[in-house]
Amino acid sequence: MGEHRTTIYRGLSPRRSRGYGVLARLLAALLIASCLTAGRESLPRRAPAFFPADVVWQIRLAAAVSAPAAFDAERAYVPLRNGLIVAVGQSDGRTRWSVDLPTTVTPAAAGGLVFVGSRSAVYALAAANGTVRWTAPVNAPIAAPVLFHTDWLILGLESREIVALRGSSGDEVWRRTVGAAVTAQPAISGDRVFSALADGRVVAFDLRTGDPVWERRLGAAPTELLALEDRLFVGSKDNFFYRLDLEHGDVEWRWRTGADIIGRAAADDRNVYFASLDNVLRALDRGNGAQRWKAALPVRPISGPVWSDGALFVAGAPSLHAFSAGTGAAEGQFGADAELLGPPHVFRTTEGEVRLVAVTGDGSVFELRHRVDPPLRPLDFVPGTKLAPEPAPRVLSTGATPARPLSPRQH
């Protein structure tokens, strides 16, 4: 009798061992799938890439642009070098109105009004037709973009002062001397108003009274401010990007770059994003300042990034570029006819479609939308010339006797 031999694997028969192996692989696959799903859910919500895009409309205004435009839900308000403020409808690109108010700073638009700093006064215009609602003298030219926030109008003046007005009436509430030139649009968070100064200071004031609360000196002049509900983010010309505590102005962390920070940062609930003049776009953790990713910019940025639906839009000279906020991956670009002036305005239509409006320095305003290819449909006909059917080939008779199969004995 032959020898019967069974191989034992750690006390298990081969069949049972194979069964446990399949179970282990199944559990491992479920664990990996769970981790991948959790990772995807932790990333910012991702919308389809905006580019490639088509031009919805484009107009050329009567003169070059003197300052970046302001926007509300319906119109763009563009200051021109010929002294006009022109309102352009975002739905069709048509001029709604124009008013002679020379300015070199960006207006503010909100609450049905447009606030324009012209010479040594500020004007409140009706957004619908451009009529003047009120005028308030401020006794000095306005040095930085106008800020409007919940009926507060905050102005930085060339006289090295910060002035707070009531947006509804133009009445002056308080005025404070800051001792240095105002370099950027002020910012508001809660009951504080913040100002960036040319001598390297960031100063906080009480919004209601104008009383100084704190000041923090950075390594060089700060750039534009991003004031959130819990922290203040600001870049500087010392090549650092800072996070400051709102309550006391303490530097909680800073990140070194290869060049000056440009424009205002953008943020979502996870990260803060900013551009620098070493042509790099960066994402840092809002909490601890750890770098999430960085992406090389193919052009020199002219402003900070704009966040919309999980995408970042960066204006260069003369093109717009999009990046994924989650990964920093490039998501296309659009080349303009001239150098852009200011960041793009990204918004949604009443139908939920994402649109983008941009302004170039030579006075061109255009709107883009995501290019949607038409759906595929079956052809109603086959293109080309219809060929006549060929006749079936004829079998010619040779008169030969058909072959017969051989019998087995004839092999």
User: Tell me: the pLDDT tens digits for 35-64?
Assistant: 444 444 444 445 578 999 999 999 999 999
Return the structure tokens found at 304.
Answer: 């900070």
pLDDT tens digits, one per residue of 209-261: 999 999 999 999 999 999 999 999 999 999 999 999 999 999 999 999 999 99
Average pLDDT over residues 74-96: 97
Contact partners, residue 110, CB within 8 Å, separation at least 6: 72, 148
Average pLDDT over residues 373-381: 66
Question: Residue 5 has what pLDDT?
Answer: 37
Confidence of residue 1 (pLDDT cuts 50, 70, 90): very low
Is residue 406 scored above 60 in pLDDT? no
What's phi and psi for 177, nearest 5 deg?
-85, 135
Beta-carbon count within 10 A of 105 CB? 21
Contact partners, residue 207, CB within 8 Å, separation at least 6: 152, 164, 188, 190, 191, 192, 193
Confidence of residue 372 (pLDDT cuts 50, 70, 90): confident
Q: What are the extents of the domains in the chain? A: 46-67+303-373
User: Is 306 in contact with 321 (CB distance < 8 Å)?
Assistant: no
Domain 46-67+303-373: give its CATH code. 2.40.10
What's phi and psi for 408, nearest 5 deg?
-55, -30
402/405 Cα distance (integer angstroms): 10
151/167 Cα distance (integer angstroms): 5
Average pLDDT over residues 31-36: 49
Is residue 396 scored above 70 in pLDDT? no
Name beta bridge partners: 308: 311
Contacts 24+ apart (CB under 8 A), 389-392: none
